[in-house]
């Protein structure tokens, strides 16, 4: 890989969001839960407040991104299942599209993998359209500098 990223880990970028309850506390706890499940948080952005997209009659979101080291034997599909399980653990309900939520975890990148299946599209199909992803992602990528895994270089104009 590159710099500080060990070969025993696969780099993944996860976008985090919350607009119900203790938003910052939920995002911090979700990162801790990912680590408790055998992943490693290598870097993260600060959290930023953003307006909702789609359904507007709801509270503002707190958003950020994290660079997660996923065990090398874990597939992208299995990691996405783990993210969905963490969302559920934190009370995520999917009552309608873009509904308010305690926790939203989106898999943006999984190394350099690309695919489009009914369950998973990589990279995330709308990541470039979402300032709540691109702005924290740019912040995190700038901080990482030369330590940024090679598979993510060139994803953003830095």
Q: Quote the CA–CA distance of 121 and 107 in Å, as a whole number.
A: 9
Q: Give the Cα separation of 64 and 61 in Å (integer).
A: 10
pLDDT tens digits, one per residue of 63-100 = 999 999 999 999 999 999 999 999 999 999 888 888 89
Supply the mean pLDDT for the chain: 92
77: which 2 tokens? 């599909």
Residue 52 has pLDDT above 70, yes or no: yes
Segment 36-41 shows an average pLDDT of 97
Q: In percent, how much of the chain has pLDDT > 90?
A: 74
Are 120 and 81 in contact, with CB atoms under 8 Å apart? Answer: no
User: Which has more confidence, 158 or 100?
Assistant: 100
Is residue 49 within 8 A of residue 62, CB to CB? The reply is yes
pLDDT in tens, 94-118: 888 888 999 999 999 999 999 999 9
Query: Which token pair is 89?
Result: 């653990």
Domains of the chain, each with CATH number or no CATH? 9-152 (3.30.70.560)
């Amino acid at each position: 890989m590159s710099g500080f990223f060990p070969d025993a880990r696969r780099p993944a970028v996860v976008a985090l969001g919350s607009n119900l309850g203790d938003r910052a506390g939920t995002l911090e706890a979700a990162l801790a839960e990912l680590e408790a499940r055998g992943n490693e948080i290598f870097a993260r952005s600060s959290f930023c407040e953003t307006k909702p997209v789609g359904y507007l009659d709801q509270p503002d979101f707190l958003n950020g991104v994290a660079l997660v080291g996923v065990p090398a034997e874990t597939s992208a599909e299995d990691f996405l299942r783990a993210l969905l399980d963490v969302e559920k653990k934190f009370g995520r309900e999917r009552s309608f599209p873009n509904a308010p939520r305690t926790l939203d975890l989106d898999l943006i990148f999984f190394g350099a993998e690309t695919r489009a299946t009914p369950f998973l599209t990589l990279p995330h199909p709308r990541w470039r359209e979402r300032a709540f992803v691109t702005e924290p992602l740019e912040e995190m990528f700038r901080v990482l500098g030369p330590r940024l895994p090679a598979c993510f270089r060139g994803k953003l104009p830095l």
